[in-house]
Structure 1
Amino acid sequence: MKRIHIIGSVGSGKTTLAKVLSDRLQIPHYELDNVVWRRTAFGDVRRTEQERDERLGEIISTEQWILEGAHHTWIKESLQNADCIILLDTPYSKRVYRIIKRFIFQKFGLEKANYKPTFKIFRKMFVWNAAYQNQNRQEILELLSTYDEKVVILQDNKQIEKHLNR
């Protein structure tokens, strides 16, 4: 596996898993949020769709990569080029807990954030989590059904660890 795409809801563990795999496999990882947003000293600037797609193309044209994110409407090229697609389908309550924990850690500077951890973003994370549960999850499952032979669905840390140890 040299090209891995990790997808799931906010709080599902995508970034953590991407970092672990990146360390173990010595493959660079990229957050899709950083493909969508250009991070500047003055705040985040949304890339145009063309800039976003070009940036994604630059990443997937390399030999090795790990991409992770919740985005699912514009990533088809990444999914097609991935050797393995991991859907982190962790329980709703676990994601809620992780969203709260992440916000507290980021506010106290115990965890790095690519964005300013505001209450507005905090509230949005709950909206995104609910949207995943109520709509996006089914859309993602339908999208991934095309790639069944390379999709792995993991629901908890035990399954993730078992998969990592293979």
Structure 2
Amino acid sequence: MHQARKIHIIGSVASGKSTLARKLSRNLNIPYYELDNIMWERGADGDRRRPEEERSEMVHSIVRTDSWIVEGVHHQGWMVESLVQSELIIFLDTPKRTRTIRIIKRFIEEKSGLKKGNYKQTFSMLMKMFQWNHRFENEDKINIRRLLEPYHNKVKVLRN
């Protein structure tokens, strides 16, 4: 069987995307990229949303390479090229309860300094994550499934 070298991982906040991407990256010796870091330019004064054209160019430069893993919840037009070019798409459809527990765990670990995240953990951010988790379950999941239909032959759905 052909080993996938171009992998797109999509799922909700706290579904395990980054953890899976890091493990696959290490085991397969493939670089991985977080779509959040393409969406947002990280700076000392806070994050700046990159223009869509810039995001599309960044994705294009990644998918032109021989091997890559991209991961994120994003399902807008600027990232579709990675779906088209991927050899494997992993849709992490973990239970809402599991994601909720992970959101709380992440908040505690990052707030206490045990782990470092891409953004500052605040109570406001925690509330946004709960909202994103709820929206994923009730809206985004349906849209992502629709988006992935043309690629059904290379989609694997993981629930755990």
Normalised by the shorter chain, which TM-score bucket? Answer: over 0.9
- AA aligned opposite 1:8: G
2:40 corresponding residue in structure 1 = 37
- AA aligned opposite 2:34: E
- AA aligned opposite 1:78: S
**Shift of the alpha carbon at 1:102?**
0.4
2:140 corresponding residue in structure 1 = 136
2:150 corresponding residue in structure 1 = 146
**Shift of the alpha carbon at 1:53?**
1.1
Q: Secondary structure at the match of 2:47?
A: strand
State the aligned residue count: 156
**Shift of the alpha carbon at 1:37?**
0.6
* Identical columns (%): 52
1:86 corresponding residue in structure 2 = 90
1:23 corresponding residue in structure 2 = 26
Extract structure 1 runs of 4+ deviating beyond 6 A. Answer: none
Question: 5+ unaligned residues in a row in structure 1: which ranges?
Answer: 157-166
1:26-56: CA deviation from partner (whole Å, max 9, x where unpaired): 0000000000111112221111111111111
CA distance in 2, matches of 1:105, 1:58: 34
- AA aligned opposite 2:13: V
**RMSD in angstroms over aligned alpha carbons?**
0.8
**Shift of the alpha carbon at 1:109?**
1.2
Residue 61 (structure 1) aligned with residue 64 (structure 2): yes
Question: 5+ unaligned residues in a row in structure 2: which ranges?
Answer: none
TM-score (norm 1): 0.92
1:124-148: CA deviation from partner (whole Å, max 9, x where unpaired): 0011111110011011111111101
